[in-house]
Amino acid sequence: DAKTTQPPSMDCAEGRAANLPCNHSTISGNEYVYWYRQIHSQGPQYIIHGLKNNETNEMASLIITEDRKSSTLILPHATLRDTAVYYCIANAGGTSYGKLTFGQGTILTVHP
Amino acid sequence: DAGITQSPRHKVTETGTPVTLRCHQTENHRYMYWYRQDPGHGLRLIHYSYGVKDTDKGEVSDGYSVSRSKTEDFLLTLESATSSQTSVYFCAINQDRGDQETQYFGPGTRLLVL
């Protein structure tokens, strides 16, 4: 897995968009960018993934720069329940998929 | 939740005793994983399985063994528990999401070794 770098913590007001950055400057062409989050004491939860194109699902949007060296996870209308640790992971999938490397992530705190 | 359960959810044991944690899944997933999570280390892979009786080591496998005698169960055994194995243990499975597989995690087992 390519190394990823995330800010240790971020704050966001409830109802506003939360934009979580991730740098992955050494990502290889076959590595996807995955985002997971972990709410206190629970197992990590898959959010979204992408390769080159921007992606959107019911939880979030993922914006990947054209050079693929960085990405941003967007929670469009953050709620208090979005307070969690967010992990950005670069992984090639396939037989290597299972060996996910979880770094320290970003602690997102959503304030009322 | 991809049908993953872990048992027990909490356990307190003494140093030197064997401990077995169970991960059970109901959706016939091929790949299963055991991670541990400790403050300052994030999640680290202990062992994983890619089929019945097919297992391999992860990053922190010393002191742990696993078995998978049937698709639905993946067992993690601490042969002789030590205080350094006090941790939260998560099981995970791979689930297909179109172009890629993603991992779904169980609720975790909190283990305290005294």
Query: Taking CB atoms and an 8 Å cut-off, how many pairs form between chains A and B?
Result: 55
Chain A residues touching residue B100 (CB < 8 angstroms): 32, 49, 93, 97
Tens of pLDDT, residue by residue over B51-73, are: 999 999 998 999 999 999 999 99
Chain A residues touching residue B92 (CB < 8 angstroms): 43, 98
Length of chain A counted residue by residue:
112
Chain A residues touching residue B68 (CB < 8 angstroms): none
B101, A105: Cβ pair inside 8 Å? no
Phi-psi domain of A80 (left: phi exceeds 0; alpha: psi -120 through 50; beta: other): alpha
Q: Å from B63 to nearest chain A CA?
A: 19
pLDDT tens digits for chain A (112 residues)? 778 999 999 999 999 999 999 999 999 888 899 999 999 889 999 999 999 989 999 999 999 999 999 999 999 999 999 999 999 999 876 545 567 778 889 999 999 9
Contact by Cβ (8 Å): A12, A111: yes
Of A42, A46, A105, the CB nearest to B102: A46
Q: Is A97 on the interface with B (CB under 8 A)?
A: yes
Which residues 6+ apart lie within 8 Å of B27 measured at CB?
B2, B3, B93, B95
